Structure 1
Amino acid sequence: MTCPMCDRETVQKYRPFCSRRCADLDLAKWFNGGYAAPSNDPDDMDDLEQAMDRAARDADRPEKPH
C-alpha cells in the first residue's frame, strides 16, 4: 500500500500514510475544506428558510390518489 499523499510505502504507525508529516498534511486538507462531501443544502440562510417553508407546506398537503 502506498501513501495517498506522496506515493511512498506506508508505515504501520501512520497507516495509511508514510509519515506523521503526510498524516498532518491530510488533516490540514480536511480542516481547510480541501475535502468536502457534496451537499444539496442551501448555502444561504434565506434559501434555507425558503426551503424549510416549502417543505412544511408540502407536508401539510394531502396526498393525491394515484
Structure 2
Amino acid sequence: MSKIIKIKNLKKLKINKCPICKKGVTINFDPFCSKKCSDIDLYNWISEEYYFPENNKSQSE
C-alpha cells in the first residue's frame, strides 16, 4: 500500500515564458516554445533588430 506524503513549503514550479510569443517553454526548444519562435529570434539577430550597444567611452584614457 502506498502512502501519500504532504510536503510543506514546496516552492512553486517556475514556468518560463517564450520571449517571442510568451507561451510556455518546451524542453526541445528552450528558451523558446517552438522552432518557429526560435527561427524568429535568429532572424532578429541576423537582421540586426537585436544588437549590443557600442561602448562610447573615449580611447584616449
- TM-score, L = length of structure 2: 0.64
Please list every run of 5 or more consecutive structure 1 residues that lacks an aligned counterpart in the other structure.
Answer: 42-53, 59-66
- Identity among equivalent pairs (%): 34
In 2, Cα distance between the equivalents of 1:25 and 1:36? 15
Match of 1:6 among 5, 21, 30: 21
Match of 2:39 among 17, 24, 40: 24
Q: Which has the higher helix share?
A: 1
Displacement of 1:40 in angstroms is: 3.8
Please list every run of 5 or more consecutive structure 2 residues that lacks an aligned counterpart in the other structure.
Answer: 1-15
Structure ID, larger Rg: 1
1:1-42 per-position Cα deviation (integer Å, ceiling 9, x unaligned) = 01000000000000000000000000000000011111147x
In 2, Cα distance between the equivalents of 1:38 and 1:30? 13
1:35 matched residue in structure 2: 50
Q: Which portions of structure 1, spanning 4 or more consecutive aligned residues, are displaced by more than 6 angstroms?
A: none
Taking only aligned residues, the RMSD between alpha carbons, in angstroms, comes to 2.0
